């Protein structure tokens, strides 16, 4: 008898294992590991994944698989294995790992409903019958909201009402109605001849098919021939035409024509960098390359040509790009080279669109996927290369469970496929560069920009000096004069306002009160569209106050990312300048990001003003000036990577200037010009920065010299949170090797979320083979309390941010 091992969709410690189910005979030859099923689990139905098939089971009372949800496995053997690896590495539940690899559309939706048992209607009093008025089922959610929950529950016990469980897919495949002729050209002509003379419209429809015998979408047909549905219907009824439902993809890029491009001739440097990659592709050998190339050195062309080789070899490619630079511009470059062999995956797509892109990959209709972090799980079976552009970007680390880093997943998959990985960056993560130096990764260097263009000249302006000289504006003299100069020449400027986060908070200018969330220790975020304040952590929402709740002053206003204020000041000092502002406020609508960039590219503005989101990917020939208004705002964050992040951002944004014929200039304004990350980004010298930063990391026992694991404990009771963290810290100190450094307990940077106090313990280690086992023991020990949700313990292996 066929038995399936199933991982069920119940993310909890106690159910984090396989359960056995028997397979009904009719499905015996269909089922395969990696398929989704619906299975009975206790009293309800849940979704699950078949992880293995076997012939027998030790389980006595085995139940049957209720339904098979897929005709083809959604997870192949490799991905199932990768799921186990993810579970192990990130210490998450198996089901969480499996779901993370699939588009959200494939996740189940559960519904619990009540219905009247057959023939028991008389047993119900009028109030209950009234609830069922006009419907045979009511949802459990409504029951809980009604005042009759107890009463209804009693009827369930008596058997008058029945509880039913439904498992549904989040989403259906999208279909369109398609019309096609059932006769050939001659047949249609003959039939047109015998149509009654008053059937003019039917005649026109037939005429369409005589000229275009192919099938056509009903909607298009109606538009083209300008007839109503009734006309087509008549012809279908007569058996001349046929209608059918056809599955279609929601193609976010439909109606867009991409001009094909040919590979460019590579520079000597580029060719030298590409050669070892090509060798690895053709030898089917695994290797990780760190492509370290200055901004504008033509990394993308190397990616494109490597992918081209992979496709020619009949294999597939994954191209990861950070979410914020996954702009239509980027996508265009890949679509222009590889046409419709490209699928695109990013968070801007709807659940349905993502699902459709995923299906193109699953059905082997595309060869390349360009996407953000989660595209690393694209279900390709013959991977020939994985490329991660801007590999230092922190968005490659998922900040929810499973807390994986796409770079590590990429390497794991590439090992399985015996194929190369390219990590590309002008400012590699310190960890990556260190590995390249140790020859764990192979270093490929591009030190020159293409088109012979020079790296821009960088001016670092000390804003303290400006203040001393009586300049209180946010623009230094230098920046102002260069701005005016560009304006006169008709060249373009990018202005970066380097502010932390992307949100705007509210502060009273009289008493300095910042409106905080009542449940969390974090400021509320202003939302313009409904003039309200929201907490991004717990969802708390309140109206924007008219006066300060503390001192009553009406000088209360929001401090946005500040771009608005800069815009106002620009309007004062350079009234003739046309400014495009890009920040959360102006880019929240779908497609607005692209629209603004297009407008800038087409020269409808002189200045592009924005936050971090403008630092990447812009490649416009007319940009000759980049200004950073305040370079040091994120330097003083309590994060050991803040210097690295500052250096990376400044270098990236500087790289926007002078990429083509016109030379570029950069002005960096700062209050700490002596800080090495600012000074060295001015010199664009990553190598020196690397040495400096490595020295500091070694001194303070941080990566790449040490690995990190962060344990976060939260509890409603502050003392309890501290006590548990304390106990964990003690336990780990005792059970890990003396080389491990265990710090804590300390309050989290966000010390309270949703009225739960948060404490943490940080482990720095070099080699601790027992670490995961010990952490599992810790989780095990607090199992009971975490199950009751009194206590929460989360573990982040290799955290990117210390929250």
Partner DNA sequence: AGCACGCCGACT
Partner DNA sequence: GTCGGCGTGCTC
Query: What's the min distance (Å) between Cβ of 637 and DNA?
Result: 32
**What's the residue count for the chain?**
803
Identity of the residue, 20 or 323, whose beta carbon is nearer to DNA in the bound complex: 20
Query: Residues 229, 236: contact at Cβ < 8 Å?
Result: no
From 223, 691, 784, 801, residue interacting with DNA (rule: CB under 7 A): 784
Looking up tokens 């020449």 gives 489
Query: What's the min distance (Å) between Cβ of 94 and DNA?
Result: 14
Identity of the residue, 383 or 775, whose beta carbon is nearer to DNA in the bound complex: 775
**Does 520 show up as a binding residue in the annotation?**
yes
Instruction: Spell out the residues 6+ positions from residue 674 whose beta carbon is closer than 8 angstroms to its own.
Output: none
From 11, 24, 213, 749, residue interacting with DNA (rule: CB under 7 A): 11
Interaction mask 128-167, DNA, x per CB under 7 A = ----------------------x---x--------x-x--
Query: What's the min distance (Å) between Cβ of 139 and DNA?
Result: 12
Query: Residues 446, 270: contact at Cβ < 8 Å?
Result: yes
If one asks whether residue 57 binds DNA (CB under 7 A), the answer comes out as yes
Q: Estimate the crossing angle of helix 218-225 against helix 229-237, to 10 degrees.
A: 110
Query: What's the min distance (Å) between Cβ of 37 and DNA?
Result: 11
Identity of the residue, 15 or 484, whose beta carbon is nearer to DNA in the bound complex: 15
Query: What's the min distance (Å) between Cβ of 730 and DNA?
Result: 25
- Tell me the three state secondary structure of residue 664: coil
Query: What's the min distance (Å) between Cβ of 19 and DNA?
Result: 4
If one asks whether residue 789 binds DNA (CB under 7 A), the answer comes out as yes
Looking up tokens 């008549």 gives 234
If one asks whether residue 41 binds DNA (CB under 7 A), the answer comes out as yes
**Does 517 show up as a binding residue in the annotation?**
yes
**Site residue total, DNA (CB under 7 A):** 29
Identity of the residue, 36 or 435, whose beta carbon is nearer to DNA in the bound complex: 36
Q: Where are the alpha helices (DSSP H) in 395-476?
A: 406-417, 430-437, 463-468
CA separation, residue 533 to residues 129, 343, 481, 505, 526 (Å)? 43, 38, 39, 8, 5
**Does 535 show up as a binding residue in the annotation?**
yes
Query: What's the min distance (Å) between Cβ of 519 and DNA?
Result: 20
Pairing outcome for strands 707-715 and 791-797: antiparallel
Scanning 6-14, 382-390, 640-648, 731-739 for contacts with DNA by CB under 7 A, the matching segment is 6-14
Query: What's the min distance (Å) between Cβ of 397 and DNA?
Result: 24
Query: Residues 740, 763: contact at Cβ < 8 Å?
Result: yes
Query: What's the min distance (Å) between Cβ of 64 and DNA?
Result: 7
Scanning 18-26, 255-263, 353-361, 598-606 for contacts with DNA by CB under 7 A, the matching segment is 18-26
Is-cis flag, bond preceding 316, omega within 30? no
Interaction mask 731-770, DNA, x per CB under 7 A = ----------------------------------------
Identity of the residue, 43 or 196, whose beta carbon is nearer to DNA in the bound complex: 43
**Does 761 show up as a binding residue in the annotation?**
no
d(CA 747, CA 766): 24
Identity of the residue, 12 or 801, whose beta carbon is nearer to DNA in the bound complex: 12
d(CA 138, CA 134): 10
If one asks whether residue 123 binds DNA (CB under 7 A), the answer comes out as no
Tell me the sheet residues that pair with 49: 7, 36
**Does 548 show up as a binding residue in the annotation?**
yes
Burial class (CB in 10 A: 0-12, 13-18, 19+), 66: middle
Query: Residues 633, 500: contact at Cβ < 8 Å?
Result: yes
d(CA 485, CA 679): 25
d(CA 580, CA 608): 5
If one asks whether residue 19 binds DNA (CB under 7 A), the answer comes out as yes
If one asks whether residue 44 binds DNA (CB under 7 A), the answer comes out as yes
Scanning 129-137, 482-490, 493-501, 783-791 for contacts with DNA by CB under 7 A, the matching segment is 783-791
Scanning 16-24, 123-131, 427-435, 795-803 for contacts with DNA by CB under 7 A, the matching segment is 16-24
**Does 551 show up as a binding residue in the annotation?**
yes
Identity of the residue, 10 or 234, whose beta carbon is nearer to DNA in the bound complex: 10
Query: What's the min distance (Å) between Cβ of 540 and DNA?
Result: 22
Pairing outcome for strands 457-462 and 579-582: unpaired
d(CA 208, CA 224): 9
Residue 462 structure tokens: 């000390």
d(CA 513, CA 550): 7
- Tell me the three state secondary structure of residue 540: coil
Is-cis flag, bond preceding 69, omega within 30? no
Query: Residues 673, 679: contact at Cβ < 8 Å?
Result: yes
Q: Which of residues 60-119 bind DNA (CB under 7 A)?
A: 61-63, 112
From 25, 26, 29, 43, residue interacting with DNA (rule: CB under 7 A): 43
Identity of the residue, 1 or 59, whose beta carbon is nearer to DNA in the bound complex: 59
From 2, 24, 33, 40, residue interacting with DNA (rule: CB under 7 A): 40
If one asks whether residue 255 binds DNA (CB under 7 A), the answer comes out as no
Identity of the residue, 38 or 235, whose beta carbon is nearer to DNA in the bound complex: 38
Ordered DSSP codes for 469-500: TT--SSS-HHHHHHHHHHHHHT-EEEEE---S
The candidate with the shortest Cα–Cα distance to 435, out of 694, 633, 176, is 694
d(CA 292, CA 306): 16
Residue 74, phi then psi, degrees to nearest 5:
-85, -20
Residue 613 structure tokens: 């989101």
Looking up tokens 């953000």 gives 372
Identity of the residue, 58 or 211, whose beta carbon is nearer to DNA in the bound complex: 58
**Which residues define the annotated binding site?**
508, 511, 517, 520, 535, 538, 548, 551
* Residues of the shown chain interacting with DNA in the complex, contacts defined by CB under 7 A: 10-12, 14-15, 19-22, 39-44, 57, 59, 61-63, 112, 150, 154, 163, 165, 784, 787-789
Annotated binding-site residue numbers for Zn(2+)? 508, 511, 517, 520, 535, 538, 548, 551
């Amino acid at each position: 008898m066929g038995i399936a091992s199933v991982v069920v969709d119940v993310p909890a410690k106690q159910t984090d294992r396989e359960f056995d189910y028997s397979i009904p005979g009719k499905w015996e030859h269909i089922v395969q590991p990696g398929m989704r099923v619906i299975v009975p689990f206790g009293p309800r139905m849940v979704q699950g994944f078949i992880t293995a098939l076997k012939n027998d089971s030790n389980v006595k009372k085995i139940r049957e698989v209720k339904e098979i949800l897929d005709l083809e496995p959604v997870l192949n053997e490799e991905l199932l294995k990768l799921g186990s690896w993810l579970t192990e590495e990130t210490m998450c539940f198996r089901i969480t790992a499996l779901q993370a690899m699939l588009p959200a559309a494939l996740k189940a939706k559960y519904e619990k409903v009540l219905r009247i048992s057959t023939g028991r209607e008389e047993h119900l009093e009028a109030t209950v019958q009234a609830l069922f008025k006009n419907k045979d089922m009511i949802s459990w959610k409504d029951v809980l909201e009604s005042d009759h929950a107890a009463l209804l529950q009693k009827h369930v016990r008596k058997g008058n009402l029945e509880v039913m469980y439904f498992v549904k897919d989040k989403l259906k495949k999208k279909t369109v109605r398609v019309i096609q002729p059932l006769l050939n050209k001659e047949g249609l002509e003959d039939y047109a001849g015998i149509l009654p003379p008053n059937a003019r419209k039917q005649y026109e429809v037939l005429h369409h098919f005589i000229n275009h015998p192919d099938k056509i979408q009903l909607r298009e047909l109606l538009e083209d021939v300008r007839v109503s549905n009734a006309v087509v219907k008549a012809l279908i009824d007569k058996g001349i035409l046929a209608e059918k439902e056809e599955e279609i993809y929601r193609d976010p890029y439909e109606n867009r024509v991409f001009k094909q491009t040919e590979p460019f001739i590579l520079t000597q440097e580029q060719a030298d960098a590409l050669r070892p990659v090509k060798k690895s592709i053709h030898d089917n050998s695994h290797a990780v390359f760190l492509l370290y190339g200055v901004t504008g050195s033509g990394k993308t062309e190397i990616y494109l040509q490597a992918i081209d080789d992979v496709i020619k070899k009949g294999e597939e490619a994954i191209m990861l790009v950070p979410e914020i630079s996954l702009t239509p511009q980027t996508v265009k470059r890949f679509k222009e080279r590889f046409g419709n062999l490209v699928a695109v995956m990013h968070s801007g797509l709807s659940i349905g669109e993502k699902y459709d892109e995923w299906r193109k990959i699953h059905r082997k209709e595309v060869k390349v996927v360009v996407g953000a972090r989660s595209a690393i799980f694209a279900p390709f079976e013959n991977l020939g290369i994985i490329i991660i552009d801007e590999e230092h970007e922190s968005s490659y680390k998922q900040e929810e469970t499973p807390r994986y880093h796409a770079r590590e997943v990429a390497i794991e998959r590439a090992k399985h496929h015996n194929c190369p990985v390219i990590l590309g960056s002008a400012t590699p993560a310190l960890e990556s560069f260190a590995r390249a130096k140790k020859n764990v990764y192979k270093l490929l260097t591009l030190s020159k920009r293409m088109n012979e263009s020079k790296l821009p000249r960088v001016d670092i302006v000390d804003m303290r000096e400006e203040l001393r000289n009586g300049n209180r504006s946010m623009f230094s003299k230098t920046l102002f004069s260069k701005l005016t100069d560009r304006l006169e020449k008709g060249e373009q400027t990018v202005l970066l306002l380097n502010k932390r986060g992307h949100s705007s908070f509210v502060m009273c200018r009289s008493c300095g009160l910042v409106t905080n969330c009542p449940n969390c220790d974090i400021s509320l975020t202003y939302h313009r569209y409904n003039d309200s304040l929201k907490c991004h952590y717990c969802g708390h929402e309140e109206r924007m106050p008219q006066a300060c709740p503390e001192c009553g002053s009406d000088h209360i206003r929001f401090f946005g990312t500040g771009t608005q204020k800069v815009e106002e000041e620009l309007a004062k000092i350079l009234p003739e300048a046309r400014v495009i502002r890009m920040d959360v406020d102006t880019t929240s609508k779908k497609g607005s990001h692209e629209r603004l960039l297009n407008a800038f590219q087409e020269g409808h503005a002189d200045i592009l003003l924005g936050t971090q989101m403008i630092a990447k990917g812009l490649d416009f020939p007319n940009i000759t000036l980049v200004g950073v208004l305040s370079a040091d705002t994120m330097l003083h964050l309590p994060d050991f990577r803040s210097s690295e992040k500052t250096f990376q951002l400044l270098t990236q944004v500087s790289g926007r200037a002078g990429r083509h014929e016109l030379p570029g200039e950069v002005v960096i304004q700062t209050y700490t010009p002596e800080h090495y990350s600012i000074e060295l980004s001015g010199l664009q010298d990553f190598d020196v920065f690397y040495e400096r930063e490595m020295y500091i990391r070694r001194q303070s026992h941080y990566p790449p010299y040490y690995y990190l694991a962060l344990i976060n404990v939260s509890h409603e009771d502050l003392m309890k949170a501290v006590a548990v963290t304390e106990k964990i810290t003690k336990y780990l100190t005792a059970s890990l090797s003396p080389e491990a450094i265990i710090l804590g307990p300390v309050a989290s940077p966000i010390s309270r979320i949703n009225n739960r106090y948060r404490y943490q313990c940080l482990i720095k280690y070099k080699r601790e083979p027992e670490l995961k086992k010990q952490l599992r023991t810790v989780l095990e020990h607090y199992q009971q309390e975490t199950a009751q949700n009194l206590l929460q313990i989360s573990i982040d292996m290799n955290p990117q941010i210390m929250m």
